Structures are given as structure tokens and as C-alpha cells.
Amino acid sequence: MAAPEDPDRTRYDRMRWNTPLSQDHAALLLDRLAVGATDRVTDLGCGWGELLLRAVEPNGASGVGVDVDADGLERGRRLAAARGLEDRVTFVEAEAASWDEPADRLLCIGSSHVLGGTGPALARLAELTPPGGRLLFGDACWTDPPTAAAAEMFAEVLPLTGLLDHVHAAGWRVLHLSTADQREWDDFESTWRAARQEWLIRHGADDRATEVRERLDAQLDAYVRTYRGVLQFCYLVLGR
């Protein structure tokens, strides 16, 4: 009998994208990003590129997704092929920090850390965006003062005002600002664990089950007790 699949490789299986974002909210952000038919769209830290695919699908634009996660990139290629987008969207296994090709529209959602943090990321993304270009940028933030436990857990997160200070310092103009609501956060956190919870139900007697159960319980406990309703996530459509 074949061994059960690796639960760690299933962690994204139930997720539409790796960010707290509803489909309606995503549609709003892409509308504000205003991708044109001749635009080149780059998603740095794309994962499997679902948002990138939705950005280019309606109007003939082309895109490239950049990430170091080979499994995610292969999933993105399958999704692109299923929609007939394989000739317009390319997935590249590379470090986002080393990417130097400009694009008319850029996406960077939850990936500022791979570009050196919020400030350096916004500055670098400005270098890759020509005048008249736009950026869809997503980053965690505090909209209210965090608890001590949350601040310790997410020491690198800035208040929203600090995030906007970096936006302006990098020369961006804010075309749109919105934050994830509680339902988006709950769905994100739940779907991130869902495939592993399902694995645990199917394979409760597996040698790995105890470790998986303890890890999932600790993650859920941290979410509910420490940062649910406290940590925020901001989406910005920026122009220059």
C-alpha cells in the first residue's frame, strides 16, 4: 500500500490564493489596477499566480509570475493551461529580489519580506514600474495598536501610517486603499489549515499524525487568542 501523501505539501490545496481576500474584493482591486490589453504584468512572489491569471485573462495582456516555490509554479502552469493562457502567462522559478525586468503593472502581495521589507520593497518596485504604471501591493499592518503578544509575534509589521510613509517616500500615489475584513481573514486562516485537517481525519493513525495535530492546534490557538481581529492586511493600488 502506498504511503499517505506528505501533509506539508497539501497546505495550499484548499486556498484560492495565499492572502485574506474575497473574490469580490479581488475583482475591485484588479479593476483599480486597470490592466490594458497590451500591458505586461509581473507578479513577484506569485505562488501559483491565481491573481495574476485573473489580471491578464479578460483582455489579452501577458504576464510573468516569479517565485521560488517549484510546486506552486507548477500548479500555476496547470491553471494557466486549463484556461488557455499558457501562451500569455509564464511562470519563472527565480528570486524576486533578483528580478530586474520592468512591467506596466506589478503585483506584490504579502511578499515584501523577499524584497528586504516594506520600505525597500516599495522602492525597488518603483524602479521596475515605468511612469504611468501601477502596482497592486499587499502588506500586513496595524490599524489599531496591537496587543503585546501580537506585537511580539509580528515584530516586523508596521502601523498603517508607517506603511503609507514608505509609500510616499518611494514616490507612489495612492489610487486605492482597502483592508481585509474579518470574514476574509477567517476564510484565509481556515483554508490554510483545511487540507491538513482533512489529511489528519483520513490518516489519524499515521506516525506523523500527532505532530500534525499539535501543530495545527497551536496555529489555530495562536490565531484565535493572539491576532484574530488585531492583525490587519492592507491592499494598495499605487501609481507613479
Q: Tell me the domain boundaries of the chain.
A: 20-181+231-239
CATH superfamily of 20-181+231-239: Vaccinia Virus protein VP39 (3.40.50.150)
Residue 7, pLDDT score: 87
Residue 8, pLDDT score: 83
Residues facing residue 140 across a β-bridge: 233
Q: Assess contact for 89 and 51: CB atoms under 8 A.
A: no
Q: Assess contact for 55 and 63: CB atoms under 8 A.
A: yes
Exposed, middle or buried: residue 14 (CB in 10 Å: 0-12, 13-18, 19+)? middle
Report the relative pairing of strands 40-44 and 89-93 from DSSP bridges.
Answer: unpaired
**Digit-coded pLDDT (tens) for 166-175:** 999 999 999 9
**Digit-coded pLDDT (tens) for 102-142:** 999 999 999 999 999 999 999 999 999 999 999 999 999 99
Report the relative pairing of strands 62-67 and 173-179 from DSSP bridges.
Answer: unpaired
Q: Is 16 helix (H, G, I), strand (E, B) or coil?
A: coil
What number of other Cβ atoms are within 10 A of residue 29's Cβ? 22
Show the low-confidence residues of the chain (pLDDT under 70): 1-4
